[in-house]
A and B are shown apart, each in its own frame.
Chain A
């Protein structure tokens, strides 16, 4: 009776504590278990070290992920976790990581654009000591132009995993049907004439595919090489913007006009993938883009393709230079393990491992001279191997255009602000492609944007 009365009193006060207390305790235990579980951010035990690598999403990095067990077999004390992200997300993540010194990654893939800037900022470590530790690394085998682009104060700050230049790829069958022939070192005028001759919208065939998708790494990559070979430049030696100067304007005008008269439909949203798809589907007769594009040809495109150097106007050898490379953030706490992995993944032995395990067409191109001497590789990449090697060798990041310039980089300007500036300028040019803006207006606005950036460097 007394117990009943006490319960009634508790009811009357609206108090009944046990069920929620039990529930809260259970939840607290659950959260504690989750927070402390190794799968949720805890460490690994013993002497094994786990390194985290942020990698850009491309076929070569996917292959690296597949071959990580081979590395771990040879180095049982090092576990490797690879996070694969698309280029934009990767760039955002690793920039955030180094700028806030978070130390989330022990290695990441960065390009020739980032390496000199980040090395200067002290965000990435000099990798020379790790190269010296690896007796079989053969740093002198790295393609000189690529090694130079990754060097800061005479030391390699990133190790090249995959390199590329740009070249013209064309369908021999389609050009021959239109009675067009191309030399191995064509001029842009020659290419434009060929494109207009082959272009036949009634049959759904375009003369050439050129990137129009806004983005400094998308549209501006091929366009900048056209600007360079026309003698254009982003800034003069005093950091005064040159986007309205005659060579720059002529180059952009030519590029936009070629797209409009013989380019792919919907060019303002066409990037590498869209052009590759159109080329493989026989919808375009020519494609000017990364040398690695040729490794992705399928069906009739694979059987009927010819290759030529990046087309030129004034400056010879206008191809770009890019290398996705492994850099080590200065915040990494597992530098030895990260260095061991970086030297393994960029070694001659790794190239052999890829060729033997995954096939020679999977070999990461554009990093080592010895790769191009391998008979197995020549067999699968014979058509474009030499052009790739020569294009990379002749791309000079220190002398991208006709006149001397105060910046480095062929298809980019090697300054921190370029990511934003390049994106904004490419949007202006996309507006010209879609007919929403005139060339003069777009370049005028672009020049104003560049003026603000140039001022900071004067």
Chain B
């Protein structure tokens, strides 16, 4: 009987192989642009611009050298401050909000949820002028603090919704038991909720990090030299009068490394977080 369970039938085995091949193909399709970007970064400008593309070449780090000679660290640091600052704020504000919309639902919780997500209905461009004038009058132009606030407002609705979906997964009995033992809101949050939704927090953080790190529209409009972020540094290589593909690829490789590393480090938590709620 047990043998019948463990030995796969030929049809099942073929299906498994087919699914694996498909999974790898899809993974390669997604990874190919990243791989191509990295390869382009190791070419000379004329190799990177050649048609048909140069496949065999001697790798050079000259483009990275050129990119780093353009004072990359300040852009990187600004990106890190804006990204980490806004993500921390999203978690700090989003977790209690998600708690109040799931574990102990406030009155009209569904309306509140809809209100949160409705703020994303407004096109970014529509909010640009009022926000820009506000930032100008508050002396916040070219200030990374403005970016922290903007990225927090952009990511907060998403954070609340994500965190709420993770909180809904926690069994109610757990909270009832804790309350019987006399646990209050903060005790529940810190001793019960946080440890249980760590994967969800990791997933939410990473999504917020990616959005904030890659954000260009507000960064280009609200900063100039002091608070400019990595995407601003990146587009500076798009030259109107010359070849730039290799340099741009090198700059893009450097700019995307932190997000790639963050994803790689947190991949276990991320997979658990992203699949939370997927299987009942």
Contacts and interface: CB of A to CB of B under 8 A. Distances in A.
Interface of A: 8, 10-17, 19-20, 23-24, 27, 30-31, 34-35, 38-41, 52, 54, 56-60, 62, 65-66, 81-87, 89, 93, 96, 100, 102, 104-105, 272-273, 276-278, 280-281, 283, 290, 292-293, 296, 298-299
A34 B224 contact: no
Contacts of B188: 14
Contacts of B141: 41, 102, 104
B186 A20 contact: yes
A276 to B, nearest CB: 7
A84 B51 contact: no
Contacts of A81: 225-226
A17 B187 CA distance: 10
A41 B241 contact: no
B243 A39 contact: no
Contacts of A102: 132, 136, 141
B182 to A, nearest CB: 4
Given A19-B190, A96-B221, A40 B183 contact: no
B275 interface: no
B235 A85 contact: yes
Contacts of A57: 235-240, 244
Given A14-B185, A105-B224, A299 B242 contact: no
B235 A86 contact: yes
A74 B73 CA distance: 25
B224 A277 contact: no
B49 interface: yes
B238 to A, nearest CB: 4
A13 B241 contact: no
B250 to A, nearest CB: 14
A41 B184 contact: no
A89 B216 CA distance: 11
Given A19-B186, A296-B242, 14 more contacts: A14-B186, A14-B188, A17-B186, A19-B190, A31-B85, A40-B227, A52-B224, A56-B240, A81-B226, A83-B236, A86-B240, A104-B141, A276-B49, A276-B243
Contacts of A56: 240
Given A27-B92, A58-B240, A87-B240, A41 B51 contact: no
B50 interface: yes
A65 B67 CA distance: 13
B9 interface: no
Nearest to A7: B182
